[in-house]
Amino acid sequence: MAKTFLSFRKAPQNPFVPVILKGHQRIAKFRPSLREEEGAHFAQKCVAQWKGHIPAGKVNQDLIDFTDFLPTLAEITKAKPPAGVRIDGHSFAPQLRGQKGRPREWIFCHYDPRWANFKFTRYAQDKRYKLYFDGALFDYRKDPLEESPIAEKAMTAAQARVRQKLQKVLDTLK
């Protein structure tokens, strides 16, 4: 990832250059999904540069989903989507500009690669918890490698509410 970041920093000044640094330096199979060094919460880095618009040196911890790139680029370029087209993503253009924006409460992943020997998985996650399609809920602050799902009878009331919120996401996005 460092090489990618350094080559980006040396790139000519473009009006808008989003760079997604996706690099699994270590992949392990604990559950049917990809893992990276930071744990199992599938965190990806996004570096953006837009001279005069994006404050330098800022880090934003908001959740961003791949579906958010289309509405973000549309907002920045003032493009309108075709009539009748439903856009699932949320623009994160305000966050790029250093404003609050409309942060996501959750992100969703449907992973079903057919090009390799990886297993299918679906999950919804917020900044702390991840719920898989099979009902396994993990607190990745306490269990970053997702080795011990939270038993339903051991859940706190707050965890049960989070589980219900994330289950609704899984039920809605089929």
- Sequence-ordered list of residues with C-beta below 8 angstroms from that of 145, at least 6 positions apart, any chain: 28, 30, 35, 39, 40
Specify whether the CB–CB gap between 34 and 121 falls below 8 A.
no
Coarse DSSP helix, strand, coil percentages of the chain, rounded to the nearest 5 percent:
25, 15, 60
Which tens digits make up the pLDDT trace of 32-52? 333 333 445 456 677 787 778
* Domain coordinates in residue numbering, the chain: 2-172
pLDDT at 125 over 60: yes
Q: What confidence category does residue 137 fall into, taking pLDDT thresholds of 50, 70 and 90?
A: very high
What superfamily does domain 2-172 belong to in CATH? Alkaline Phosphatase, subunit A (3.40.720.10)
Which tens digits make up the pLDDT trace of 63-95? 988 889 899 989 988 998 888 988 889 999 999
pTM: 0.71
Distance, CA of 29 to CA of 145 (rounded, Å): 10
